[in-house]
Structure 1
Amino acid sequence: MSITGIGTVTGYGWSTTELWDGLLSGKPAAELTGGLGPDGRDEGWVARVPSGGDPADGDSLFTRALRAACREAVADAHARGWRPGARVGVLHATVYPEVEAWRDFHRSDRSLHTARGFITQMPSTSIALMMKEFGFHGPSMSVAAMCSSGNAGLITAKMWLDAGVVDDVLLVSTDLSLTPDTIESFIRMGVAVADTDPLDASRPFQEGSRGFGLGEASVAMVVTNRPTDGRYARMWGGAMTHDAFHVVSIDPSHEQVLGCVSSALESSGVAPEEIRYLNAHGPGTAQCTAAETEVLARSFGDRPQVYSVKPLVGHCQGAAAGVEIAVAAMSYDAGVIPASPQVAPGHPRLLDGVTTRQPGLTMKTSLGMGGHNAAVVLGEI
């Protein structure tokens, strides 16, 4: 299965060009923003999607971002020679659909409620509008696996294609959930940091990391088994497991994480030594760093180089894996990897900033809160 079109809306802006240029700059998408605390006075560093999009797409920034990302991905795929088959399926990888609309609706005076306001908050609405725009009639479904949702969506897309259920899939992963309530909750959990520049706070595989900076995104990808020109990358295979251990914490044995990586290699038909890069979940938390450091050592003998883009683009929650898959795929097309700059002593295989990509496969791991593990293998066409 190949990725043949990409569209993105992130804290850097409303296009893949802005995302790529932002990553190459080595500067985080986060900005110092006010009104984050429950009293509306606190400020902090977050990589929110900026205002924008087409007003004709609706009042909701969530819907505008989703449809803009899909529109760019489809146009990009067309430019690369893709022509949709009769059955284009749509998968929406998301965890927090329409947080702003949901909050506004349920906190407003009930006498002001309208049918339109009620329908807007439903996760199916944005997808229905998008499918109508493009005339897609294949199956449509949401995928939710916390921070692993993008990986889970890509694996599900491959299953649909391999089973002959669809001719093509449009996978979109969206999370615009940075309300003051959400930000405060992640900070209180001790995993998110908003009181300083993300490069200072979030240091995956480096000394002194305090956690992750928060981000938002909507990322869309056209994937297909059919030949087209100008494809970004090939997805070889993938796997998913669940820790079944704790609602937040990773099982310290790392048994299921390691098993997920092993199964992903097996389903892809590749040996561990063929993996050249680990595009890590890499949020900068102690638990995740410990788990993925063990993956590097036990699954790969510390051969691959490792990187994370979360310090730059932010941890985009339900859209995190989607952003990181897109970045890995774009790196095959561009010939460089826009890794985050290293700011402290770290793992000897950690990439430091923009790096020329060498031939070889990439494993993308994701460790979703609650025990959702997912890994996919990407490579050259």
Structure 2
Amino acid sequence: MTYWLNDLGIVSAMGIGQDATTTSLNKYNPATPLLTLNKSLSAEQTPLYVGQVQSIALSNNKRINTFIDLALEQIKPTLDKLSHIDKSRIAIVMGTSTSGIHDGEGARKSYESTKLWPDDFSYSDQELATPAHYIAHKIGALGPCYSISTACTSSSKALISARALLNADLADVVICGGADSLCQLTINGFDSLASLSSGLCQPFSSTRDGINIGEGAALFVMTKNKPITNNGVMLLGSGESSDAHHMSAPDPNGMGAQASMEKALKSAKLSCGDIDYINAHGTATVKNDEMEALAINRVFGNNTPLSSSKHLTGHTLGAAGAIEAGICWLLLKDSGQHMLPYNAIKEGSDLADIKIIKQAFKPTLKYCLSNSFAFGGNNASLILGVNVD
């Protein structure tokens, strides 16, 4: 059975929409970063680089819904082709880690100053299922509807879960992906873990010192057997594992990460030599990049080009898996037309031997693997591909 990712709506610090995202890929210059400085989110008012969606003010209420609206508008032409499908056969699966917490923080500030809660604030906006329910309401979907929240693997697992719904014949179409917004909870939470970068994040660099938090959304329209657009990219395989090593630190041996990649290859019926590009999790923390390089080396050696795209988007947490799968989707759909993300850094001497992309080039791609690794040792790998005649 073939699973098709028929269309993509994407929002991040790279821009709004497919064209803006690929333009950011093709014109990226390390001297003019896409991430921006912000100090309002830090409890200490420390200026920090974040992957902010610039066209949407941080004060904007219902911020995560705004991202979802922007992504839905992009895939509307494809959704319009589904009018003949029974609404009970259209499912929604979303990944998120913050849901509407941004609005909760704003409402709390308002209450502290006025002793009144804002009229448009609802506690339910902060529920993890809310992004999925919001989409279902917007498009009238009546099938299975839920969110997955497994930290940084949330939206990768949303795609895996969507495929499972189709395979079980519980839906004919699944709108799947992820959404997260910047908020004080994540900025200060990661700061308390000493995981934030003092500057711009530097994945796989010898000078890497942490992450930059980002925000955004990515939505796919997934079907099985036949594509419903000419832009279809296949979800060929997936792998999941759990380290259970530590609440927030990865297993330094990378065995769980290795297992998720190997399971994805087996699921896709591919060998390591078939993969043309790996979008690494690449958070730019010392421990993650060291672990991931070790795991990739054991599976792929130093033969497969790889990079992290988090210096372009920031770490979008619950939306990261879908946004990074979206970058792979764009690279595959327009194979040979776009620059791969690259990490123009000095490679870390502590890293295993892997083939890090350090300069821009436009390769022809058939298969991409995208890694997502999360708190608690929760790991997920996706393989996307296209038919090449």
Same fold (TM over 0.5): yes
* Matched letter for residue 368 of structure 2: T
Whether the aligned pair in 2 keeps the contact of 1:4 and 1:224 (CA below 8 Å) is yes
Deviations 1:20-55 (A, max 9, x none): 22232214321122323325x4322211223539xx
Deviations 1:176-199 (A, max 9, x none): 0332x4323313322221x42x2x
Name the SS for the 1:7 alignment partner: strand
Q: Please state how far the C-alpha of 1:337 moved relative to its aligned partner.
A: 4.1
For the pair 1:156 / 2:161, whether they are aligned, the reply is: yes
Deviations 1:63-110 (A, max 9, x none): 1112221231233x359x766632111011011111122223445269
Q: Residue 88 of structure 1 aligns with which residue?
A: 90
Q: Residue 217 of structure 1 aligns with which residue?
A: 216
Q: What CA distance in whole angstroms lies between the structure 2 residues aligned with 1:125 and 1:146?
A: 16
Q: Residue 253 of structure 1 aligns with which residue?
A: 253
* Matched letter for residue 37 of structure 1: S
Measured at CA, do residues 267 and 273 of structure 1 come closer, stay the same or move farther in structure 2, by a change above 3 Å?
Answer: same
1:69 to 68, 71, 74: 71
1:342 to 335, 338, 344: 344
Q: Please state how far the C-alpha of 1:145 moved relative to its aligned partner.
A: 1.4
Measured at CA, do residues 83 and 269 of structure 1 come closer, stay the same or move farther in structure 2, by a change above 3 Å?
Answer: farther
Q: Residue 352 of structure 1 aligns with which residue?
A: 358
Whether the aligned pair in 2 keeps the contact of 1:95 and 1:144 (CA below 8 Å) is yes
Deviations 1:215-241 (A, max 9, x none): 111111111113323224211111211
Deviations 1:272-316 (A, max 9, x none): 221222111011122221222122221123221111111111111
Q: What CA distance in whole angstroms lies between the structure 2 residues aligned with 1:214 and 1:62?
A: 15
Measured at CA, do residues 217 and 18 of structure 1 come closer, stay the same or move farther in structure 2, by a change above 3 Å?
Answer: same
Whether the aligned pair in 1 keeps the contact of 2:93 and 2:132 (CA below 8 Å) is no
Q: What CA distance in whole angstroms lies between the structure 1 residues aligned with 2:73 and 2:20?
A: 16
Name the SS for the 1:237 alignment partner: strand
102-111 or 128-137, which deviates more: 102-111
Measured at CA, do residues 18 and 48 of structure 1 come closer, stay the same or move farther in structure 2, by a change above 3 Å?
Answer: same
Q: Residue 149 of structure 2 aligns with which residue?
A: 144
Q: What CA distance in whole angstroms lies between the structure 1 residues aligned with 2:321 and 2:127?
A: 23
Name the SS for the 2:75 alignment partner: helix
Q: What CA distance in whole angstroms lies between the structure 1 residues aligned with 2:95 and 2:69?
A: 14
Measured at CA, do residues 124 and 366 of structure 1 come closer, stay the same or move farther in structure 2, by a change above 3 Å?
Answer: closer
For the pair 1:372 / 2:378, whether they are aligned, the reply is: yes
Q: Please state how far the C-alpha of 1:111 moved relative to its aligned partner.
A: 5.8
1:182 to 173, 181, 186: 186
Q: What CA distance in whole angstroms lies between the structure 1 residues aligned with 2:321 and 2:84?
A: 25
Q: Please state how far the C-alpha of 1:205 moved relative to its aligned partner.
A: 2.4
Q: How does 1:324-343 map to 2 (within 5 A)?
A: 324-335=324-335, 336-343=338-345
Measured at CA, do residues 104 and 34 of structure 1 come closer, stay the same or move farther in structure 2, by a change above 3 Å?
Answer: closer
239-248 or 6-15, which deviates more: 6-15
Q: Residue 241 of structure 1 aligns with which residue?
A: 241
Q: How does 1:113-152 map to 2 (within 5 A)?
A: 113=117, 116-118=120-122, 119-152=124-157
Name the SS for the 1:248 alignment partner: coil
Measured at CA, do residues 141 and 288 of structure 1 come closer, stay the same or move farther in structure 2, by a change above 3 Å?
Answer: same
For the pair 1:170 / 2:172, whether they are aligned, the reply is: no
Q: Please state how far the C-alpha of 1:120 moved relative to its aligned partner.
A: 3.4
Q: Residue 13 of structure 1 aligns with which residue?
A: 15
* Matched letter for residue 240 of structure 1: E
Q: What CA distance in whole angstroms lies between the structure 1 residues aligned with 2:118 and 2:172?
A: 38
1:34 to 17, 31, 39: 39
Name the SS for the 1:377 alignment partner: strand
303-312 or 4-13, which deviates more: 4-13
Name the SS for the 2:261 alignment partner: helix
106-115 or 22-31, which deviates more: 106-115
Q: Please state how far the C-alpha of 1:262 moved relative to its aligned partner.
A: 1.5
Whether the aligned pair in 1 keeps the contact of 2:152 and 2:318 (CA below 8 Å) is yes
Whether the aligned pair in 2 keeps the contact of 1:274 and 1:361 (CA below 8 Å) is yes
Whether the aligned pair in 2 keeps the contact of 1:89 and 1:136 (CA below 8 Å) is yes
Q: What CA distance in whole angstroms lies between the structure 2 residues aligned with 1:127 and 1:361?
A: 29
Whether the aligned pair in 2 keeps the contact of 1:332 and 1:380 (CA below 8 Å) is yes
Percent of matched pairs sharing the same residue: 21
Measured at CA, do residues 348 and 100 of structure 1 come closer, stay the same or move farther in structure 2, by a change above 3 Å?
Answer: closer
Name the SS for the 1:117 alignment partner: coil
Name the SS for the 1:227 alignment partner: coil
Whether the aligned pair in 2 keeps the contact of 1:332 and 1:357 (CA below 8 Å) is no
Q: What CA distance in whole angstroms lies between the structure 2 residues aligned with 1:359 and 1:328?
A: 9
Q: What CA distance in whole angstroms lies between the structure 2 residues aligned with 1:184 and 1:159?
A: 35
Whether the aligned pair in 1 keeps the contact of 2:13 and 2:215 (CA below 8 Å) is yes
Deviations 1:246-270 (A, max 9, x none): 1011112322222222211112111
Name the SS for the 1:374 alignment partner: strand
Whether the aligned pair in 1 keeps the contact of 2:90 and 2:171 (CA below 8 Å) is yes
Task: Please list every run of 5 or more consecutive structure 2 residues that lacks an aligned counterpart in the other structure.
Answer: none
Task: Please list every run of 5 or more consecutive structure 1 residues that lacks an aligned counterpart in the other structure.
Answer: none
Measured at CA, do residues 124 and 363 of structure 1 come closer, stay the same or move farther in structure 2, by a change above 3 Å?
Answer: closer
Name the SS for the 1:4 alignment partner: strand
347-356 or 268-277, which deviates more: 347-356
